[in-house]
A and B are shown apart, each in its own frame.
Chain A
């Protein structure tokens, strides 16, 4: 494995991308989970899918478009989807969560239409759905690096405000923080991270990488900082373990990554239970 890693560029691309995504997806995931927005990640990943499908369709109709990386259309759709969700949340003030299924089903519907127009499933599309070790190109890697740097800088810059608003939105507003702006910036970064994660984890499973490591970490963490650190740790474990097993067993990495993340979650739940029992007995 190590040898092939030095030998094959595609493996390097996959691993570096995986390691980066293993950091930023759980990092954003912590905020997503504590803000109870876990479903937004799901909705946006489905919108990203329609973006990818749109790109495949346009390339079929107009060949030069094939030169455009589908990641861009994916990101574009994802960001637009995020903005629409925000807009809908203000329209349905008393049913804020309704925005999520609306956008999600719309995303899927649009995606399915694009896919059928583009003559159905291709291996390409399979890679986008479930992730792929071999599909990550050097350009993909560069896009991932650039977006990740932007996301990390952004989150660092608004960390304080994001924490306050996540913990107690009303308190944040009473401090006069620009709650809407912060939320907007956050949701756009989420959209971008979802779009760049799909090459490795696949669209259908990207939200799992944002939520499962966090679900495990908040069972153990006492502080918010710990929650972030554990989440990233569990995220990395899942991604690296998932990529290695995907490579050896010739599986789609999205599946192996998520199964490992679920395994970690199970272990933390059992650990917490055992410790609790032990405390009661002892």
Chain B
């Protein structure tokens, strides 16, 4: 499902915290149906870029278009589904069932001052079915394992049928053997529903055979292209693009330095 309809378009985007550039002259174009991985070491600005795209941070300089609209005036947020890093996104003692959590993904689509639609139960079931979590519908969210919670959050993101799904380090805290299943799920959403997927990760090893496009980010985009294009680069060039701390990534990650 590759098209040339741009879903996310970024031109000359800069972002500074005080006077330090976190992102510099970012150029990026994500077309409908793309499966893009943004890869970079800790502190490379991955999360910042993602938060800018999601409107969680206010854009400073440059251009950011979502579905062809300037982000400042963009209102179609229900077209974008977001799955954040599980670990720091919610309080595990929260009294809520999987059903309530997944249904809350319909909030924007339903609109203010309205009740959830009558068929929301079917919608929740359908969303849970696509992540193989149907039988957990009445369970308390805090009782589930990290991987199961992550799948529930994907169900919450896809219940409103978004055109783009954005995931921030989704496989952190998920068992290695589950990671494979997890990517199969994303590939299914990408292939069968034509959902555009943008995933941010520090883990270059597992994703190269799963995504269609890849971007190496370290303050600015050092490489952006299809997987075939990336494979044509030899290793030496790659490690140059990726920065010298490539082998430090996994050991550093434990300390959660990537968030800004």
A175→B84 CA distance, assembly (Å):
12
| A167 and B104 in contact, given A158-B112, A173-B56, A227-B95 (Cβ under 8 angstroms) | yes
| A21-39 near B? 1/0 per residue, CB < 8 Å | 0000000000000101000
Q: Which residues of B contact A172 (CB under 8 A)?
A: 107
Residue B80 at the chain A interface, CB threshold 8 Å: yes
A175→B83 CA distance, assembly (Å):
11
Residue A160 at the chain B interface, CB threshold 8 Å: yes
**Which of B55, B84, B104, B110 gathers the greatest number of chain A CB atoms within 10 Å?**
B104
Q: Using a CB–CB distance below 8 Å, which chain A residues touch chain B?
A: 34, 36, 157-158, 160-161, 163-164, 166-168, 170-177, 217-218, 221-227
B93 touches A163 (CB 8 A): no
Question: Which of B82, B91, B104, B108 interacts with A34 by CB under 8 Å?
Answer: B91
| A170 and B84 in contact, given A175-B77, A222-B140 (Cβ under 8 angstroms) | yes
Q: Which residues of A contact B230 (CB under 8 A)?
A: none
Residue B240 at the chain A interface, CB threshold 8 Å: no
Residue B61 at the chain A interface, CB threshold 8 Å: no
A223→B142 CA distance, assembly (Å):
11
A171 touches B82 (CB 8 A): yes
Residue B126 at the chain A interface, CB threshold 8 Å: no
A34→B91 CA distance, assembly (Å):
8
Residue B75 at the chain A interface, CB threshold 8 Å: yes
Residues facing A in B26-84 (CB within 8 A) are 54-56, 75, 77-78, 80, 82, 84
A225 touches B108 (CB 8 A): no
Please give me the residue from chain A that is nearest to B77 by CB atom.
A176
B89 touches A176 (CB 8 A): no
Question: Which of B84, B93, B95 interacts with A168 by CB under 8 Å?
Answer: B84
For the complex formed, measure the closest distance between the CB of A176 and the CB atoms of chain B, giving whole angstroms: 3
A176→B81 CA distance, assembly (Å):
11
A225 touches B56 (CB 8 A): no
For the complex formed, measure the closest distance between the CB of A8 and the CB atoms of chain B, giving whole angstroms: 40
18 contacts between A and B (CB under 8 A): A158-B112, A160-B116, A163-B96, A163-B104, A167-B96, A171-B84, A171-B89, A173-B56, A174-B55, A175-B107, A176-B55, A177-B107, A218-B93, A222-B139, A222-B140, A223-B97, A224-B94, A224-B97
Do most interface residues of chain B lie in helix, strand or loop, or is the interface mixed? loop
Please give me the residue from chain A that is nearest to B82 by CB atom.
A174
Do most interface residues of chain A lie in helix, strand or loop, or is the interface mixed? helix
B90 touches A223 (CB 8 A): no
| B106-144 near A? 1/0 per residue, CB < 8 Å | 011010111110000000000000000000001110000
Q: Using a CB–CB distance below 8 Å, which chain B residues touch chain A?
A: 54-56, 75, 77-78, 80, 82, 84, 89-91, 93-97, 99-101, 104, 107-108, 110, 112-116, 138-140, 156
6 extra interface residue pairs, beta carbon distance < 8 Å, beyond A161-B112, A222-B138:
A161-B107, A163-B100, A172-B107, A174-B80, A223-B100, A224-B100
For the complex formed, measure the closest distance between the CB of A220 and the CB atoms of chain B, giving whole angstroms: 9
Q: Which residues of B contact A157 (CB under 8 A)?
A: 112-113
For the complex formed, measure the closest distance between the CB of B209 and the CB atoms of chain A, giving whole angstroms: 29
A170→B113 CA distance, assembly (Å):
21
**Which of B80, B84, B93, B107 gathers the greatest number of chain A CB atoms within 10 Å?**
B107
Q: Which residues of A contact B107 (CB under 8 A)?
A: 160-161, 163-164, 172, 175, 177
Question: Which of B95, B104, B112 interacts with A218 by CB under 8 Å?
Answer: B95
Question: Which of A168, A217, A227 interacts with B89 by CB under 8 Å?
Answer: A168
Please give me the 6 A-B residue pairs with the lowest Cβ-Cβ distance, nearest first. A176-B77, A227-B95, A174-B82, A175-B108, A223-B97, A221-B95
A176→B71 CA distance, assembly (Å):
12
| A223 and B113 in contact, given A161-B107, A177-B108 (Cβ under 8 angstroms) | no
Please give me the residue from chain A that is nearest to B140 by CB atom.
A222
Question: Which of A168, A174, A177, A217 interacts with B54 by CB under 8 Å?
Answer: A174
For the complex formed, measure the closest distance between the CB of B118 and the CB atoms of chain A, giving whole angstroms: 15
Q: Which residues of B contact A164 (CB under 8 A)?
A: 104, 107
Q: Which residues of A contact B110 (CB under 8 A)?
A: 160
Q: Which residues of B contact A160 (CB under 8 A)?
A: 104, 107, 110, 114-116
For the complex formed, measure the closest distance between the CB of A78 and the CB atoms of chain B, giving whole angstroms: 25
For the complex formed, measure the closest distance between the CB of B147 and the CB atoms of chain A, giving whole angstroms: 18
| A167 and B90 in contact, given A161-B107, A176-B77 (Cβ under 8 angstroms) | yes
A170 touches B56 (CB 8 A): yes
Q: Which residues of B contact A158 (CB under 8 A)?
A: 112-113
A224→B97 CA distance, assembly (Å):
7
Please give me the residue from chain A that is nearest to B99 by CB atom.
A223
A172→B107 CA distance, assembly (Å):
9
Q: Which residues of A contact B108 (CB under 8 A)?
A: 175-177
B89 touches A170 (CB 8 A): yes
Q: Which residues of A contact B82 (CB under 8 A)?
A: 171, 174-175
B112 touches A222 (CB 8 A): no
Q: Which residues of B contact A166 (CB under 8 A)?
A: 94
Please give me the residue from chain A that is nearest to B93 by CB atom.
A218
| A175 and B78 in contact, given A160-B110, A218-B93 (Cβ under 8 angstroms) | yes
